[in-house]
Amino acid sequence: MRVIPAIDIIEGKCVRLSKGDYATKKVYNENPLEVAKAFEAHGVEYLHLVDLDGARAKEIINYDILEQIASGTSLKIDFGGGLNSERDLETAFNSGAKQITGGSIAVRRPEVFLDWLGRFGPEKIILGADAKDEKVAISGWEEDTALDLIPFIESHRKKGVKYVICTDISKDGMLQGPAEDLYRRIIEKTHINKTTIGMSGVEDERVPGIKLIASGGISCLNDLIRLQGVGCDGAILGKAIYENKIGMKELESFIYKK
């Protein structure tokens, strides 16, 4: 399971929110590049970078921070927040993103999201499927929808999506443990039947249809171990690091043990 620290950006600063509420903003560092370099120094390979200003404005705002981190580190960055046009997509990739996460656009303009998926491929386009009471939420989690989470994910799997980032918003920033049961059900519901030919003849096998990246609520190393057991491809964590609930040496030992 990949360990993916998060850097959320407001006004160029590294911040964290609780349950996606902008009023709970807490600044942890005014230099996101410094934070990214610290992650890299402890063996981290991946970074989840979110432009919270962009999510609100519905266009990329903090692309300069993405560019600084991409050019100043070797981290593989997935970038989200404010991706609503072809121009935004080009800006993200030109600024150094290896992958982009589309959440709001997959709901508001699904034809555009699917066009991106077709042109750039499922290795570069991640579906952002964040939920409140198992209903999809968009626009930096400030707008609820009537879309049921698991059918929404499954419908996109059938259209070619490979990677999904899912945050249970009620867990985000609360340091009370991730939504293990939800992730287990997502993985089970999005399995596919695969026919193989073995020593005993033709066999049917159920295999994961998506690579699920869990996000929200991680509070300790045991949470990462449990998510690995559930079958998650990756886990995004933020506040647990910033509040020293998981030490960097502890995180480094987990990365190198897997």
Q: Could you report the per-residue pLDDT of 200-236, keeping only the tens digit for each? A: 655 556 666 899 999 999 999 999 999 999 999 999 9
254 token code pair: 């987990």
Identity at 159, one-letter amino acid code:
K
Confidence of residue 191 (pLDDT cuts 50, 70, 90): confident
**Domains parsed from the chain with CATH numbers:** 2-257 (3.20.20.70)
Instruction: Round to whole Å and give the CA distance between 218 and 78.
Output: 19
Per-residue pLDDT of 53-77, as tens digits, reads: 998 898 999 999 999 999 999 999 9
As a whole number, mean pLDDT of residues 129-133 equals 90
Active site amino acids:
8, 130
Element spanning 56, H or E: helix 52-57
**Mean pLDDT, rounded, of the chain:** 91
Q: Residue 167, CB half-sphere, CA atoms under 13 Å: how many?
A: 26
214 closest CA partner among 234, 242, 186, 238: 234
Using only C-alpha atoms, the chain has a radius of gyration, in whole angstroms, of 18
Its sign, for the CA torsion 44, 163, 52, 68, is: positive
224 closest CA partner among 178, 165, 167: 178
81 token code pair: 């927040």
Phi, psi of 54 (to 5 degrees): -65, -40
CB 250 within 8 A of CB 237: no
CB 227 within 8 A of CB 235: yes
As a whole number, mean pLDDT of residues 140-151 equals 86
* Beta bridge partner(s), residue 202: 197
146 token code pair: 């009537």
In degrees, rounded to 5, the angle at the alpha carbon of residue 193 between the alpha carbons of residues 188 and 198 is 125
